[in-house]
Structure 1
Amino acid sequence: MRNTQFSYTDERFADILMLRYKLDNFSSLSLRQKKLVYYLSEAALYGRDITFDQFGRYNLKIRKVFEQIYLNYKGDRTADEFMELVVYLKRVWFSSGIYHHYGCDKFVPGFSKAFFIDAVKSVDGSLLPLDEGQTVDGLCEELLPIIFDPDVMPVKVNKKDGFDLVETSACNFYDGVTQSEVEEYYASKKNPDDKEPLSYGLNTTVKKCDGRVVEEVWRIGAKYGAAIEKIVYWLEMASTVAENDKQRSVIDALIKYYKSGDLADFNEYCIKWVDEKESAVDFINGFIEVYDDPLGMKGTWEGLVEYRDVEGTRRTRVISDNAQWFEDHSPVDSRFKKQQVKGVSANVICAATLGGGEYPSTAIGINLPNADWIRASHGSKSVTISNIISAYNEASRGNGFDEEFVIDEETIKLIRQYGDICDIIHTDLHECLGHGSGQLLPGVDPDSLKAYGNTIEEARADLFGLYYAADKKLVELGLLPDAEAYKAEYYSYMMNGLLTQLARIKKGNCIEEAHMRNRALVARWCYEKGREGNVVELVRQNGKTYVRINDYEQLRNLFAALLAEIQRIKSEGDYAAARDIVENYAVNIDPVLHDEILCRYNSLGIPPYKGFINPVLMPVTDCDGKIMDITVDYSETYEHQMLRYSRDYSTLI
């Protein structure tokens, strides 16, 4: 490792800037807590191969091939095609496969088929991932269409209306089945009268066996068992240094679930995890978020290890302590409100290790568990990740973005004065209360919105945060400095949803990712519904398009109206309305406007995506091997970390 002074920014490639994040106040943790963080971090890193495989059945093999070329290529390593191959490998590392982590489209190689074949053949065959009886020529023949043919498995997740979403998605959750077969299979398993339903399909591959649709469970002794065994080993180590009996019970419940694969055990784990609120160290580990499944059922493996940011948590505790007030004063129909908000827990945390679906690109806030009935009966945990937000903010200062896209100096000043705190408060409200708010009507299937469910849920949480960001209650609680602050968040949100997020989308593509669809839906719906009152405008100045907000109070009313409708759609399971509102407002892009935004954004030289290099946690041992301390090193490069992870944490290839 190199000895360098800490810097938030590290390396840039393709459309990505790599960042670092600090483990603030890590040294103040006790030795027991540090060991707990270390053991949980090892568990978080051992799930990496699972995520790669989930995102495409050839991803692990392709990663292995390209890494061996990178390590062993004897040709000209300064040649353009070799350098393009290195960029391709870095993108594969970043996205856990050959599909863009946000856009879901397959990477286009900047090197030729001939160069790739020669490069593969230059590597000792014993180092390559050859199947039994497979030759190097056979390996190339297998991978060439996957890498180079744009018509073969072209997108990881297809959510376009009118397609068989299972057959046209390259994610590796289904094998030889159609969308209708999957939907019929799970419909036959569900009981609408079940008050504590299982998260059907969360931890399985669906395939055909002797003509029947069956599930292959992900657990020890079955699919992904080799990786899960390692995860469980480190969870067992973590159990020995748990901060208290409740936390130990949580860890042991997760181990039980990993061994059985039984979703009833997963429910038990989730309930115990939600109930455990006292420990400074916490974690997420398992098959959790369903955004990478076109049907919104299969959980991507992810890991996050965290410890509490004490100062920041004072802010979120104010929000959670007033959760019932926010629920009661929500602008949604009273039928869809919780009469009693239970178990809302909100913390500001420092991430210590990111893994699986949370690495290298990660969320800035998380609210779990996802099961609506557990939220209603037992509550939820919400976190805002302070050191990740700090890294993002530091990397964006002085990059010229505001000057290019914000309409005038007055609004720029507003954003610079209030933008950081408003963004944090919106994230807190989104995660802590938005996802935990509202309720389904009795008998409504949690999966009734199908492919549109993720977008509707994210819009619901965003709108909850937007509506309350302008409420005088936040000033009364000391969360915002004054009654003008919210305008910074309103402007930034509308500008992003209407204009600037288009910089993340390749020319000619539609909006696919659920969070981006959510922001487009909210911004475009409010723009269209506010036309009559001229609430929000798209104006031309000096040949460029800008957002102008003419009536902030009326914009809040539009957010309220949309929140009420989005909550109704979710609470009633109104698939037709979900499909209509998403397809009309959240998918298609004006090609002329898209060209303009791409041109303006590219002129700034700002990579549209950012990800993180994990700090290295290093045990300090005495002569008997007993851990005496855990230190933190920030000097590992992106390439070294990725190669080390492939060397030390590979279990499935």
Structure 2
Amino acid sequence: MSLQRIYRLGQSLKTKAPALFICRLDSTNVSAEKFLPTPPADHEAHKDRWASESSDKYTRVEEVPGRWHYVEYLLPKKTVPEPPKHEGRAPSGWQPPAPEPPPLPYFVPRTRNHMLPVYLRKEIRGPRFITQVKHIEGDLWAFHNDLKEYLESLAGKEVLSQVHELGSYVGYKGAYVEEPVGGSTRVGLKVDELEGNGNGDDGHEEREYQCPYRDMSDEVYSNETPFLNLDCRVAFEGLSEKEKKYAHYLSQASWFGGLIVLFQTSRESPLIFLLLERLFRTQDLESLKALALEQAGFDEEDFKSLLVYTAAFYSNMGNYKGFGDNKFIPAVAKDKLEKLLRLSKAWQADPAALEHIWSEVSDPLYSLRDSEKHLGFPPKATTTYFSKNCTEKDAELVSTFMKQKGIEGYITRLFKKQATEAGDQDCYEIRYASVLSSEDKERAEFLGSDVLDKSRVTFTRGDYSPLLKLVVDNLRLAQENAANDNQRQMLGKYIDSFTVGSLDAHKDGSRFWIRDKGPGVESYIGFIETYRDPAGIRGEFEGFVAMVNRPQSEKFGALVERAEALLQLLPWPRSFEKDRFLRPDFTSLDVLAFAGSGIPAGINIPNYDGIRQDEGFKNVSLGNVINADDKSSKANFMTAEDNEMFNKLKNASFEVQVGLHELLGHGSGKLLMQNKDGSFNFDQEKVRLPHVGPGPDPEAKVTSWYKDGETYDSVFGSMGSSYEECRAECVGLYLCTIEDVLK
């Protein structure tokens, strides 16, 4: 013990209590006794129990049990003293408990410090906030249901919750505590005390609850979201004037077609797009920001949140994430956004139109009901590939019908009209995307109706007609600037497909596309990927235009040259590969325009199994996407040294992985099929299943295969896209550490 501590202790004891012990430091010839008061006259010395242990090394201790009360105030209290009486809330905001507990089947006692046992827990994954109410006595479930109903009535949305019966507590997803969570944009709610008479009428005013939108990691984009530039200036300037016009009109076609994705994402997405377009096109950003800060109640972070939401909406082409399919909302309070809209030049220019748009979109813009959080089959999720009354069972029924009829669903949507009178049939409408409508007689032979079980199926067209008309108009202008006859025929087939609603025409266009080797301007357009259809068979519109990066393309060309040798390194027999490897055109491109729900790093197309397997495909690596990098970011859990090495090598590593993923991942493998005439595209007697470790007989024969008319997507359905991406990724990871591959 230091001399300073002894002195402070002595001064404290002189003023607050008699001496209870004496400390001696013989080694320093300093006694603490001079700092302590003299013991009282009735002081009774007790035998020193530690005398036998006495040593010059230790201090002498004297016990005086009759004086323990002098130091009781130094011991930790088990309870907090009763607070002063208050008629209402204390200045700090503390609310005293009601005199008598309310007549309810549950009771929430105060903690020992007279506070409510309400705690805000911040989970690491997220961050995500969970509000917990602990120490609930009585009917735990009744308490849970009452509070859940109350919170939902205030929040205007479903509140996720959990009940822990053994622990006697409940939890609610969100920051439902009385005190504000500091520093965030908030929306006001009224939250009553958990004690009182059960209906909020206990003589005190309700207090405003503040909800931190910016901390909802799953539902909002952070204001720290990086914005990356896709540099394509050098590649574009290297084009001839004719190539630039060709690229321009293809880009216009892609952007107009990309608006279809809004309708394929959610019912509110087209209206949100109109709202944002009106807001930002009518007024320059600086004056809009000044209006928001000075008159609409925004702060700097609020306005940044609005810009981040807008950018995220355009990037995903809708209010659901292109990768993940979960909904996101603005991280700015609804009342602030409405105030800004009403003050904006857009609203002043056309108040009736903006009033209508806002009245339609304001609720779904912010709604986070369980059925709206993710894309998928109703009623648990939402989709626009099916009408709202279509169930997963309806989708399976129609998918089976389409498979039997040899119909692929890439350019369709499904709408159900339920029977309303006795004797009527349910009607399923398979609607094709096209410029022409069902009333147009031109090439309408595939339209009509058919019978499905006890229901009726009708085939119609005209979906997305106005937008596809704009796509077709620009494809015709691009056709005038095509480099060769192959490109003109390719675009002609695309025009034909989008005009009449013919998937076969798009397949023919894709055949011309894979023959267009090494063009200066590369492009592909149509209903391509089936990721977002819950059934996994309907395509989302996508269009891209890019210029060739010739130095990088030479590297990928070398990889193509060695592809057949590298395929032999994969862990399955040669019989599971195509009879002849169709060498694709593998180029590195700098993206000029990419319209869709997100930009990938690489593409292997077309997705039509018959063409990929028998005629070929193209691999595309998007170089300026791979090399787009946020230099300021730091990877989690890395030392500065490791982070520096990671940033130095990650683009080159990713480039290798993308190349292997696209060329040998998607490009490998063979669909074992039974042809229409009953023959097979593989030798049933010789082909055996691969054997990995202990398990099935290594000589096991193949017992299942694709039948005529079946495709990978039609067989695997909703899991098909995910399974194929995992397969391609595993091939890339398997090969990327092999030295011969890295050469």
Same fold by TM-score greater than 0.5: yes
Amino acid at match of 2:368: P
Residues of 1 paired with 2:379 and 2:224: CA distance?
29
1:40 to 250, 260, 263: 250
Residues of 2 paired with 1:426 and 1:220: CA distance?
40
1:127 corresponds in structure 2 to 350
Could you tell me whether the CA contact under 8 Å between 1:244 and 1:279 is conserved in 2? Answer: no
Please give the residue correspondences for 1:628-643 in structure 2 after superposition, counting only pairs within 5 Å: none
Could you tell me whether the CA contact under 8 Å between 1:320 and 1:433 is conserved in 2? Answer: no
1:435 paired with 2:663, answer no
1:215 corresponds in structure 2 to 430
Residues of 1 paired with 2:349 and 2:412: CA distance?
32
Mean Cα deviation higher: 316-325 or 372-381: 316-325
Amino acid at match of 1:100: K
How big is the shift at 1:53?
Answer: 1.5
Q: Deviations over 1:440-471 (max 9, x none)?
A: 22242412222222221111111111111122
Residues of 1 paired with 2:536 and 2:224: CA distance?
27
2:394 to 154, 168, 181: 181
Please give the residue correspondences for 1:198-597 in structure 2 after superposition, counting only pairs within 5 Å: 200-209=408-417, 211-221=426-436, 222-357=462-597, 361-392=598-629, 395-396=630-631, 399-401=633-635, 404-406=636-638, 409=641, 415=646, 418-442=649-673, 443-444=705-706, 445=710, 446-447=712-713, 448-475=715-742, 478=743
How big is the shift at 1:473?
Answer: 2.1
Could you tell me whether the CA contact under 8 Å between 1:167 and 1:179 is conserved in 2? Answer: no
2:323 corresponds in structure 1 to 102
After superposition, the Cα gap between the structure-2 partners of 1:25 and 1:88, relative to the gap in structure 1 and judged at 3 Å, is closer
Could you tell me whether the CA contact under 8 Å between 2:627 and 2:651 is conserved in 1? Answer: no
Amino acid at match of 1:423: F
Amino acid at match of 2:322: H
- TM-score for both structures, normalised by structure 2: 0.55
Residues of 1 paired with 2:639 and 2:669: CA distance?
36
Could you tell me whether the CA contact under 8 Å between 1:327 and 1:338 is conserved in 2? Answer: no
Could you tell me whether the CA contact under 8 Å between 1:286 and 1:302 is conserved in 2? Answer: yes
Q: Deviations over 1:129-179 (max 9, x none)?
A: 85xxxx94x655543431233216523424xxxxxx354333321112111
Residues of 2 paired with 1:276 and 1:365: CA distance?
18
Q: Secondary structure at the match of 1:463?
A: helix
Q: Secondary structure at the match of 2:579?
A: coil
After superposition, the Cα gap between the structure-2 partners of 1:29 and 1:63, relative to the gap in structure 1 and judged at 3 Å, is closer
After superposition, the Cα gap between the structure-2 partners of 1:451 and 1:121, relative to the gap in structure 1 and judged at 3 Å, is same
1:155 paired with 2:373, answer yes
Q: Deviations over 1:241-277 (max 9, x none)?
A: 2111111111111111111211121221222212221
Q: Secondary structure at the match of 2:469?
A: helix
Q: Secondary structure at the match of 1:25?
A: helix
2:272 corresponds in structure 1 to 62
Amino acid at match of 1:171: T
Residues of 2 paired with 1:417 and 1:94: CA distance?
27
Q: Deviations over 1:390-425 (max 9, x none)?
A: 223xx33x5332xx434795x667646644322211
Residues of 1 paired with 2:379 and 2:528: CA distance?
23
1:16 to 222, 225, 249: 225
Residues of 1 paired with 2:511 and 2:321: CA distance?
34
After superposition, the Cα gap between the structure-2 partners of 1:241 and 1:114, relative to the gap in structure 1 and judged at 3 Å, is closer
Residues of 1 paired with 2:347 and 2:370: CA distance?
28
Residues of 1 paired with 2:648 and 2:335: CA distance?
55
Could you tell me whether the CA contact under 8 Å between 1:67 and 1:89 is conserved in 2? Answer: no
Q: Secondary structure at the match of 1:307?
A: strand
Q: Deviations over 1:267-308 (max 9, x none)?
A: 212222122214221101111111222222221111110121
Residues of 1 paired with 2:517 and 2:351: CA distance?
47
How big is the shift at 1:377?
Answer: 0.3
Could you tell me whether the CA contact under 8 Å between 1:166 and 1:294 is conserved in 2? Answer: no
Q: Secondary structure at the match of 1:331?
A: coil
Amino acid at match of 2:366: F
Could you tell me whether the CA contact under 8 Å between 1:145 and 1:152 is conserved in 2? Answer: no
- TM-score for both structures, normalised by structure 1: 0.62
Could you tell me whether the CA contact under 8 Å between 2:518 and 2:587 is conserved in 1? Answer: no
Amino acid at match of 1:93: Y
Between the aligned residues of both structures, percent identity stands at 23
After superposition, the Cα gap between the structure-2 partners of 1:53 and 1:310, relative to the gap in structure 1 and judged at 3 Å, is same
Amino acid at match of 2:253: A
Residues of 2 paired with 1:365 and 1:224: CA distance?
28
Amino acid at match of 1:427: V
Flag the structure with larger Rg.
Answer: 2
Q: What is the RMSD computed on CA atoms of the aligned residues?
A: 2.9
Could you tell me whether the CA contact under 8 Å between 2:490 and 2:508 is conserved in 1? Answer: no
Residues of 2 paired with 1:331 and 1:149: CA distance?
48
After superposition, the Cα gap between the structure-2 partners of 1:58 and 1:331, relative to the gap in structure 1 and judged at 3 Å, is same
Residues of 2 paired with 1:129 and 1:59: CA distance?
20
Q: Secondary structure at the match of 1:349?
A: strand
Residues of 2 paired with 1:68 and 1:35: CA distance?
29
After superposition, the Cα gap between the structure-2 partners of 1:105 and 1:129, relative to the gap in structure 1 and judged at 3 Å, is farther
Could you tell me whether the CA contact under 8 Å between 1:55 and 1:170 is conserved in 2? Answer: no
Residues of 1 paired with 2:331 and 2:647: CA distance?
39
Could you tell me whether the CA contact under 8 Å between 2:235 and 2:547 is conserved in 1? Answer: no
How big is the shift at 1:215?
Answer: 1.3
Q: Which has the higher helix share?
A: 1
Mean Cα deviation higher: 428-437 or 60-69: 60-69
Structure 1 unaligned blocks of 5 or more: 1-11, 159-164, 479-653
Residues of 2 paired with 1:208 and 1:55: CA distance?
19
Could you tell me whether the CA contact under 8 Å between 2:587 and 2:620 is conserved in 1? Answer: yes
Could you tell me whether the CA contact under 8 Å between 1:56 and 1:171 is conserved in 2? Answer: yes
1:80 corresponds in structure 2 to 298
After superposition, the Cα gap between the structure-2 partners of 1:153 and 1:325, relative to the gap in structure 1 and judged at 3 Å, is same
2:238 to 6, 28, 36: 28
Q: Deviations over 1:555-587 (max 9, x none)?
A: xxxxxxxxxxxxxxxxxxxxxxxxxxxxxxxxx
After superposition, the Cα gap between the structure-2 partners of 1:277 and 1:331, relative to the gap in structure 1 and judged at 3 Å, is same
Count the aligned residue pairs.
440
Residues of 2 paired with 1:108 and 1:293: CA distance?
22
Residues of 2 paired with 1:295 and 1:129: CA distance?
39
After superposition, the Cα gap between the structure-2 partners of 1:285 and 1:334, relative to the gap in structure 1 and judged at 3 Å, is same
